[in-house]
Every structure is written in structure tokens, then in C-alpha cells.
């Protein structure tokens, strides 16, 4: 070593020469797309980045932060956009999947659950898809003898709890409307399916389940709602009733349209009345212990007309964002040409995206 310049090795070289430093200080902080590209740096980087232990660490590390939720806008079967309300950025993504007809059933923490068909009326398959790595896995359960119809599939993935995902698949007998459902659970950690039979017949469609607190919820604003506890082994505690809710079906002559949405660990029913003259919204939140519904917000959305392109443009709800603090909560609304944010705390409307300036992406 040159005595005059004892530290001639640059810091970056020191970091690169030590796997722990390189992992802790650099690689864990990079987004997945960059990491995949940097596999080309050298064989050693490729080995480090591909190591299962690193992948696991990276998933939990990146997922552990309070990253704000994104929403998906889909323009056709091969393209979709991630919209991040915090940065107002729309990120274009192409779909790489071998099935021509896909429907996004669910998107959670960077993984998607797809319903796929080879042709328009072909047999349904389900797949887990990672849009970043473009990796997908079609869920086939070869060992299963009972080919009962699938009445609902739900993806459980929360990287702040576990880097592995689960698929909860509810099957009903032939008479699906009123039968004993079986619940098949796939665990990506073990790569195996588990079956549980539910003995009490239940009349419910098990589509559009939402995941929260280790439970799957099937919430029906106008009929019975249920939740399934993933942790319990006790058969009669598996599927439970949720308290019912009464949403006024008409207000000021406008019929309601209900939405069931999860955000930041809270389950909501959003009940909207969107007429040309009268716009309002009720937000109900499920209590932490599943015992009841809070009357969370009642909002007059009439003033939205001042930020619409045309005063009487139709308005649709896109999603709810529950902030860490009460004042950060908002809903996203879509009206022709615009995405608008309504913040509950101060009753303000803000146009987040005006598609008139971005005609290249607005084809829906």
C-alpha cells in the first residue's frame, strides 16, 4: 500500500469487496428491476442477487416500508398502468403472459392474481403473476380428485409478514348456491395444497374476497357477509358471520352503488350516490374485532363539479387510501379525462391527472 495514500481504495470498491456491506448498504435498497439488470454486472453479483436468502430479505425489506398504495388502470388486455397517487405518476406496464384473455382479480403488494383463458369462453385457469420479474405460475392442483367448481380465489401476500404467498381457493359442490364449501389453501413456502371441508352449508358467492389481519372477507353490502380465519384449525370457527349493514339504497332520488375496498388494513363499504344533481358518499369501516361497522364518513361530493371537465360529467369511485393519520385519508375518483382526489379532513378536491395533456395513454 502506498504510505502517502493509505486509502487509495475507493469506498465503493471496499463495499463491493465485502458481501455483507454490498448487500446491506447497496443491494437491499435497490428496486427489483435494477437488481435484475445488475445480474449482468458479474457472475458474483448474479449469484448474490439470485440467492434465495437475498430474495427473501429483499422482499421483506422493500415491503416493510409504508409504501403508499398504487392503483391499476387497465386499457386493454396487454397493457395496464400503475397509478401512484402520492407522486401522481402513471407507470405503463405491458402484460407478458401466455394466455390471451386475462382478468386481474387482485393485485396486492406487487403480486397479481389473474384469471386466464386461452380463448374467450375457454376453461378458466388461475395464475399468480409478478409484473416486475414477469414471472408467472399457473395454479394447477393435479392431486385433487374432487373437481368441484371454484367459486372464489383469493391471493394472500403481505411481505411485511412473510415473503411467501398463499392462495385460498373456495370450491362448492354442484349445487354451488347452497352447499358445503371446501377450502383449498396453497402455500408457496411448502409448495403444497391443504384441504379443509366446511360442514355447514352456506349460501354465498365466494368471489372478490379481500384479505386483512389473517382473514379473508367476503363482504356483501346488501346481503350476508362472511370471513374466514386462516389461522384457526377449529372447523366451526373457520367461516364466521359478519354483522350486516343497512345502506340506504336511495337518497335524493339517486340509487346507491356500493363498493367493498381494503386499504391499509381496514375493510370498508363505500356507498355512493352519483346523480347529475346530487353526489354523496357514505363510508363504513369494519371494526378491528369484526363486531360491527363504524359510520366513518358522510360526505357531500357536490362541490366536485368545480373540478370536472364538464359540470355534469359522470363520476365513479376508484379507490380509498387510508393514511397512517386520520387527516391523510382520501378517495380517488374518476371522471372523463381526470383522476381526482378528495381528502376527507379538509374536504378538498384536487385533479391529480388530467388526461387531456396525456392523450397517448387515455384510450379507455
Q: Residue 105 Cβ, how far from other proteins at the closest point, in Å?
A: 24
User: Between residues 313 and 328, which has the closer beta carbon with respect to other proteins?
Assistant: 328
Rounded to the nearest 5 degrees, what angle is found at the Cα of 210, between the Cα atoms of 197 and 148? 35
Phi-psi region at 345: left, alpha or beta (left = phi > 0; alpha = psi -120 to 50): alpha
Q: Residue 25 Cβ, how far from other proteins at the closest point, in Å?
A: 5
User: Between residues 112 and 156, which has the closer beta carbon with respect to other proteins?
Assistant: 112
Q: Residue 34 Cβ, how far from other proteins at the closest point, in Å?
A: 5
User: Between residues 42 and 189, which has the closer beta carbon with respect to other proteins?
Assistant: 42
Q: Residue 22 Cβ, how far from other proteins at the closest point, in Å?
A: 8
**Is residue 128 within 8 Å of residue 169, measured between CB atoms?**
no
Q: Residue 87 Cβ, how far from other proteins at the closest point, in Å?
A: 13
User: Between residues 29 and 203, which has the closer beta carbon with respect to other proteins?
Assistant: 29
User: Between residues 37 and 100, which has the closer beta carbon with respect to other proteins?
Assistant: 37
User: Between residues 43 and 120, which has the closer beta carbon with respect to other proteins?
Assistant: 43
Q: Residue 206 Cβ, how far from other proteins at the closest point, in Å?
A: 35
Q: Residue 137 Cβ, how far from other proteins at the closest point, in Å?
A: 17
User: Between residues 13 and 300, which has the closer beta carbon with respect to other proteins?
Assistant: 13
User: Between residues 3 and 191, which has the closer beta carbon with respect to other proteins?
Assistant: 3
CA separation for the pair 38, 45 (Å, rounded): 7
- Give backbone dihedrals phi and psi of 95, rounded to 5 degrees, phi first: -95, 125
CA separation for the pair 142, 361 (Å, rounded): 41
Question: Which stretches of the chain bind other proteins, using CB under 8 A?
Answer: 6-7, 10-16, 21, 24-26, 28-31, 33-34, 36-46, 134
| b (16+ CB within 10 A) / e for 195-231 | eeebeeebebebeebbbbbebbbbbbbeeebbbbbbe
User: Between residues 180 and 343, which has the closer beta carbon with respect to other proteins?
Assistant: 343
Q: Residue 304 Cβ, how far from other proteins at the closest point, in Å?
A: 30
Q: Residue 284 Cβ, how far from other proteins at the closest point, in Å?
A: 31
Amino acid at each position: 500500500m502506498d504510505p502517502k495514500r493509505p486509502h487509495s481504495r475507493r469506498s465503493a470498491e471496499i463495499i463491493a469487496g465485502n458481501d455483507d456491506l454490498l448487500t446491506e448498504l447497496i443491494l437491499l435498497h435497490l428496486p427489483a428491476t435494477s437488481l435484475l439488470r445488475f445480474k449482468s454486472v458479474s457472475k458474483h453479483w448474479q449469484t448474490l442477487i439470485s440467492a434465495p436468502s437475498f430474495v427473501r430479505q429483499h422482499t421483506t425489506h422493500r415491503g416493510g416500508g409504508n409504501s403508499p398504495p398504487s392503483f391499476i388502470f387497465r386499457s386493454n388486455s396487454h397493457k395496464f398502468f400503475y397509478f401512484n397517487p402520492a407522486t401522481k405518476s402513471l407507470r405503463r406496464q405491458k402484460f407478458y403472459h401466455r394466455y390471451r384473455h386475462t382478468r386481474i382479480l387482485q393485485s396486492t403488494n406487487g403480486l397479481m392474481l389473474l384469471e386466464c383463458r386461452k380463448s374467450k369462453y375457454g376453461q378458466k385457469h388461475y395464475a399468480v403473476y409478478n409484473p416486475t420479474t414477469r414471472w408467472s405460475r399457473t395454479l394447477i392442483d393435479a392431486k385433487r380428485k374432487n373437481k368441484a367448481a371454484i367459486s372464489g380465489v383469493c391471493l394472500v401476500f403481505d411481505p411485511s409478514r412473510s415473503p411467501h404467498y398463499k392462495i385460498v381457493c373456495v370450491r362448492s359442490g354442484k349445487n354451488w348456491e347452497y352447499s358445503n364449501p371446501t377450502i383449498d389453501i396453497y402455500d408457496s413456502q411448502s409448495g403444497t395444497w391443504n384441504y379443509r371441508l366446511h360442514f355447514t352449508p352456506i349460501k354465498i358467492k365466494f368471489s372478490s374476497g379481500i384479505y386483512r389481519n389473517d382473514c379473508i372477507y367476503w363482504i356483501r353490502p346488501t346481503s350476508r357477509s362472511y370471513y374466514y380465519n386462516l389461522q384457526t384449525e377449529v372447523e366451526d370457527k373457520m367461516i364466521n358471520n359478519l354483522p350486516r349493514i343497512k345502506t340506504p339504497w336511495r337518497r335524493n332520488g339517486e340509487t346507491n352503488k356500493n363498493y367493498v375496498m381494503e386499504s391499509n388494513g381496514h375493510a370498508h363499504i363505500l356507498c355512493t350516490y352519483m346523480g347529475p344533481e346530487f353526489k354523496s358518499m357514505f363510508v363504513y369501516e369494519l371494526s378491528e374485532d369484526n363486531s360491527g361497522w363504524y359510520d366513518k364518513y358522510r360526505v357531500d361530493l357536490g362541490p366536485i363539479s368545480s373540478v370536472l371537465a364538464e359540470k355534469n360529467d359522470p363520476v365513479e369511485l376508484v379507490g380509498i387510501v387510508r393514511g397512517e393519520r386520520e387527516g391523510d385519508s382520501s378517495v380517488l375518483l374518476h371522471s372523463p379525462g381526470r383522476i381526482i382526489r378528495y381528502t376527507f379532513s379538509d374536504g378538498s378536491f384536487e385533479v391529480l391527472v388530467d388526461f387531456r395533456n396525456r392523450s397517448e395513454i387515455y384510450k379507455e
